[in-house]
Structure 1
Amino acid sequence: MSPPPTSVILPTIRWTSACDEVADQLEPDDELLVVADDESDPVADHLGDLPDGVRLVFAGEPERCSGKANAIAAGMEAAEHDRLVWTDDDFHHPSDWLSRLHADYAEHGPVSEVPFFVGRDPLSTLLEPIYAIGGTLGAYANDKAWGGGVLFERDDLDEAAFLRDLRRTVSDDGLLSEHLDVTPLRRARRVDVGGTVRETLERHARFCQIVHRHEPRDTVVMGATATATTAPLLLFPWAGILLSTLLVAAVYAAFGVRRWTALLAFPAMILQAPALAYGLARRTFVWGGRRYRWRSKFDVEVLS
């Protein structure tokens, strides 16, 4: 049986290859909503040359939430269909990406892929093993949604309550995980991150604070585990190098990833405790060109 008409929501300020990849997978009754801030964004240049089934939505400036949360909320409100897909503009969408999500929903209900973050600068490259354990394995093991590849229907959650909360927080998928019972798929999409050390520090602060705001107990567990393992790793470095590398290599293999960065497991784990402390200590962070102060889950100040 064919899946029902679907609205795909893709927040972006510029037209990327991902927009074309998703547009090519639409069925005649589907739609792709490319959500930008306003007509000053570069993606607006495509207004007169949009592929069939693609609409451009302007979300406006966020007031008490992140730009991403604001875009998702605007996209959901503008979407014509009950089956919704969220995705991002920063990874490759193979030709069967959308059809596989539909097949997975038919089997499991609401589903989500998981990200594998690939570094583009020295610091983000060094942090890859940490992100593989926390971001990839953690999302899979703890039934978390990832905004880059999630499919659900409006009736799967209390949409009004979700949209109300979405417009006063930072993390779209962190919040979705609280409102939606989702089945993560052991299918990782490679997402390039970083580019400069400064960009990586900003992203890392955001990652740490997302966990802290949505799963504070996980923050305590992560901090305690990172601190407790540092001394043994330093006291018995050869054993630490072997065991940490085997652990990270197993995580990579479980998600079909082959990356030499598994060899960075030992220094990454040594860095884990101070990196977590740094991320939690930051009072503000930059995401998508805006600086935010995130005081509590539903207390967000957009500074610039």
Structure 2
Amino acid sequence: MSDRPPTSVLLPTTRWTDACAELAAQLGAGDELLIVHDDEGDPVAERKDHPEGVRLVAAGEPEQCSGKANAIAAGMGAARHDRLVWTDDDFHHPPDWLATFTADYETHGPVSEVPYFVGRDPLSVLLEPLYASAGSLGLYLGNQIWGGAVVFERTDIDEAAFLDDLRRTVSDDGLLMEYLQVTTVGRTRIVPIGGTIREAIERPVRWTQILRWHFPGTVAGICVFSLLVLVGAVSAPLPAAVILTLVHLAVNEVLGVRRWTAVLAYPSLFVFVPLLFYGLVRRTFVWGGRRYRWHGKFDVEVVE
């Protein structure tokens, strides 16, 4: 291992997943992996034989923020080190992930990777091309933050103000974008999503509302552009289908992912646009088993 500063890895999860074991095996001298869960009733809390460097942190139930925001706030409070890595439990962390990722900090300062969402149900599969172009590509080209893979140090942000805001909102990475500038390194992580149609519908609702409250200009631009593309797709179906397919093949090449689902770009548009507007008018959404009503950026109600 290099002589890099010790790192605190924050992993919100209620279960011991493959990602927990992968990250525990990558800890260097002085590093720690904080498994941040809700309470002692979670399955991960029942596990007693944790590898060296692994600590469990009980965040408690969220009151005015999302479960994810609550977990990150608790994890940052419990972390022993200045260098922090946020990550998620829903994608594969190869053996050199932590060493490579933290080494990137020495070259670029705060960095983030880019997710590529792969569907596990028919609707999520259909929406893959639009998630790649409207989501992943924007993160990659705009040097924006994905909360599933970001490294920074406490001195890079106004930590006290950030944590105060985090405990009053939904999106951890959406908020972090307002406090931190990052470089997106050229690595894309495959993130499986969905599993049920309900999950596939709830996800774009949450993402749309994150944009609505954190980046209203961006979501307005996406809505207008999507409507214009949809009108073109209806007016000239064959040319539109060819162009959209080629564009999404190019998007996949930029992201370093080759997926057959690029051929679904044309039909995906007819589902994506209605879901986009549905997400803007929907009053509640479900995330991680909890239902939220998001009245304003810092006005969150945990419904159930």
TM-score band, normalised by shorter chain: over 0.9
How many residues are treated as equivalent by the alignment?
A: 303
- Structure 1 residue 297 displacement after superposition: 0.5
Cα deviations by residue, 1:224-262 (Å, 9 ceiling, x for unpaired): 001111121112111111110111111111111111100
2:3 corresponds in structure 1 to: 2
Q: Secondary structure at the match of 1:295?
A: strand
Q: What residue identity is the alignment partner of 1:122? A: P
Q: Secondary structure at the match of 2:178?
A: helix
Q: What residue identity is the alignment partner of 2:222? A: M
Cα deviations by residue, 1:75-126 (Å, 9 ceiling, x for unpaired): 0000000000000000000011111112211111000001100001111111
Q: What residue identity is the alignment partner of 1:92? A: H
Q: Secondary structure at the match of 2:226?
A: helix
- Tell me, in whole angstroms, the C-alpha distance in 2 between the residues paired with 1:209 and 1:102: 31
1:66 corresponds in structure 2 to: 66
- Tell me, in whole angstroms, the C-alpha distance in 1 between the residues paired with 2:229 and 2:131: 17
TM-score, normalised relative to structure 1: 0.98
- Structure 1 residue 272 displacement after superposition: 2.8
> Do 2:66 and 2:171's aligned partners in 1 also have CA atoms closer than 8 Å?
yes
- Tell me, in whole angstroms, the C-alpha distance in 2 between the residues paired with 1:11 and 1:33: 8
- Structure 1 residue 270 displacement after superposition: 2.8
Pairing of 1:118-137 with structure 2 (within 5 A): 118-137=118-137
Pairing of 1:110-125 with structure 2 (within 5 A): 110-125=110-125
- Tell me, in whole angstroms, the C-alpha distance in 1 between the residues paired with 2:103 and 2:238: 46
- Tell me, in whole angstroms, the C-alpha distance in 2 between the residues paired with 1:272 and 1:193: 16
- Tell me, in whole angstroms, the C-alpha distance in 2 between the residues paired with 1:223 and 1:271: 13
1:101 corresponds in structure 2 to: 101
Q: What residue identity is the alignment partner of 1:174? A: G
Q: What residue identity is the alignment partner of 1:295? A: H
- Structure 1 residue 267 displacement after superposition: 1.0
- Tell me, in whole angstroms, the C-alpha distance in 2 between the residues paired with 1:209 and 1:59: 24
Structure 1 gap segments, 5+ residues each = none
- Tell me, in whole angstroms, the C-alpha distance in 2 between the residues paired with 1:172 and 1:138: 18
- Tell me, in whole angstroms, the C-alpha distance in 2 between the residues paired with 1:34 and 1:187: 24
2:170 corresponds in structure 1 to: 170
1:12 corresponds in structure 2 to: 13
> Do 1:144 and 1:174's aligned partners in 2 also have CA atoms closer than 8 Å?
no
> Do 1:66 and 1:170's aligned partners in 2 also have CA atoms closer than 8 Å?
yes
- Structure 1 residue 186 displacement after superposition: 2.5
- Tell me, in whole angstroms, the C-alpha distance in 1 between the residues paired with 2:33 and 2:79: 9
- Tell me, in whole angstroms, the C-alpha distance in 1 between the residues paired with 2:216 and 2:107: 32
- Structure 1 residue 143 displacement after superposition: 2.2
**Displacement over 6 Å in runs of 4+:** none
- Structure 1 residue 187 displacement after superposition: 1.2
1:85 corresponds in structure 2 to: 85
Q: Secondary structure at the match of 2:162?
A: helix
Q: What residue identity is the alignment partner of 1:51? A: P
Two-structure CA RMSD over aligned residues (Å): 0.9
Tell me the percent identity: 61
- Tell me, in whole angstroms, the C-alpha distance in 2 between the residues paired with 1:167 and 1:27: 30
